[in-house]
Amino acid sequence: MSAPAEWVVLFRHGHSEWNLTDRFTGWTDIPLTGVGLAEAAAAGERLAAAGFAFDEVHGSVLQRTRQTAEALLAAMGTPGVPFFTTWRLNERHYGALQGMNKREIFATWGEEASRRWWRGYYEPPPPLDPDDPRHPRFDPRYASLPPEDLPASESLRDCQRRTLPYWNEVLLPRLRAGRRLLVISHGNTLRGLVMHLDGLSPEAMEKVEIPSGVPLVYRFAGDLSVTGREWLEVPAAGTA
């Protein structure tokens, strides 16, 4: 029987097209920019230099995580590592905020409420109407999911609740079997996972930031309890 893996690496995808216009992306399937691809490649070089190698990569169904995985693994010299996708690692669904920038959101709902929605734990943004073309029920990638699983909006708590079953039922058993895992996801999804792994309160979680393009390594004891974590510093793209 394999010994449990000693670590897992969490990674937030890099700069996307909508970052250029400061728009909330959520489940909208927006590609990476050249900057985002360079961030992933730089992280792959840093991981390889630090001695990391992966047996599996797990990401969301959104193309920005697949693009990140491809660029990162190519930079490591291991492009054939299996890549598994799940909607449970998607970004938090921002509801009616998706596609809007902060200036538009402040003008529509006010700054105080808006900041509660995107930084707080409990309160979701205004939901999409069921007939809104942005609703995930119109996306064929989610056709097999029960309608009650398809969000029209999510709080961070909602996002965490649909992410943790994947951690507990898929990723932990793989770690227990000794698989070396890279999890590529999104800012809020990873915030919820960090909150769980670090045992943070909702108030402490509001201060958690997950920078893009920087690997976060969690280390485990033999019983897979967390013993520590570290950020791997990555040189800026294009630097030595």
Residues 6+ apart with CB under 8 A from 45: 75, 76
Exactly one of 13, 15, 58, 135 is catalytic; which is it? 13
Contact of 38 with 102, CB cutoff 8 Å: no
Is residue 91 flagged as an active site residue?
A: yes
Exactly one of 15, 39, 58, 91 is catalytic; which is it? 91
- Show which residues are catalytic: 13, 91
